[in-house]
Structure 1
Amino acid sequence: MTGAGIALLAGTVSTLLFASSTLPMVLKALRTKDLASYSLANLVLANVGNAVHCIYVVHLPVGPIWALHGFYVVSTGLMLLWCLRYRPARRSHGALRNERSLA
């Protein structure tokens, strides 16, 4: 096997490993709609990072990095959308204080 063949094999295996490590998190979020443990700031930064990283990836030959990057773009984009859609409405400080005084 050539050096390029070994690199392609390593890229394919690592892509499968990284995607399989992230997929359970995405599927659980889809199933439960509970994203309370996810940081909105982290999801926003991950999506911005993916957008910038696209500039780099599109200049590479098609290969495992395209699949991995595509997976990350889709999964972090979905997680951000779900986080925004399913997060509970924030209560104002005054409303929270009134609820406490009623209890």
Structure 2
Amino acid sequence: MDLAVFAGVVSTGLFVMSYLPMLLKAARTRDLSSYSLGNLATTNLGNLVYSVYVFSLPFGPIWLLHGFYLVASALMLLWFLRYRPTWNAPRPATDAQDGERVLDRVPSTS
């Protein structure tokens, strides 16, 4: 194995390890509120277009890394769409003065 392929294998492993906590947390909590539909859709579109380039290369670590990115970004988009609150759900009322959600207020005992 030459140095370039070895570097590709090591970097693929590092990138996968850096993504796994995000994927596991998203799968466990089903909370993807910090992600936007636009970002996830653009990421998936970019990965699909980039696939034309990656899969034209000889088989190697880049195929594995890109395959992982394809699966990870598709999962995040699917989970976002599946676990999102309904689009038209009513939002809690807010106090115009300080932006505090009315539902978060603790009733006073006085």
Q: TM-score range by the shorter chain?
A: 0.7 to 0.9
Q: Deviations over 1:5-41 (max 9, x none)?
A: 0000000011001111011100110011110011211
Runs of 5+ consecutive residues of structure 1 not aligned to the other structure: none
Runs of 5+ consecutive residues of structure 2 not aligned to the other structure: 95-101, 103-110
Is 1:11 paired with 2:4? Answer: no
Is 1:100 paired with 2:93? Answer: yes
Is 1:84 paired with 2:81? Answer: yes
Q: How far apart are residue 90 of structure 1 and its match?
A: 2.5
Is 1:43 paired with 2:40? Answer: yes
Q: Which has the higher contact order (CA 8 A, sep 6+)?
A: 1
The runs of 4+ residues in structure 1 deviating greater than 6 Å are none
Q: What amino acid maps onto 2:69 in structure 1?
A: Y
**Residue 37 of structure 1 aligns to a residue in which SS?**
coil
Is 1:22 paired with 2:19? Answer: yes
Q: Which has the larger radius of gyration?
A: 2
- Count of residues paired in the alignment: 95
- Same amino acid, percent of matched pairs: 56
Q: Which residue of structure 1 lines up, in the alignment, with residue 106 of structure 2?
A: none
Q: Distance in 2 between matches of 1:91 and 1:69?
A: 35
Q: What TM-score results when the alignment is normalised by the length of structure 1?
A: 0.84
Q: What TM-score results when the alignment is normalised by the length of structure 2?
A: 0.79
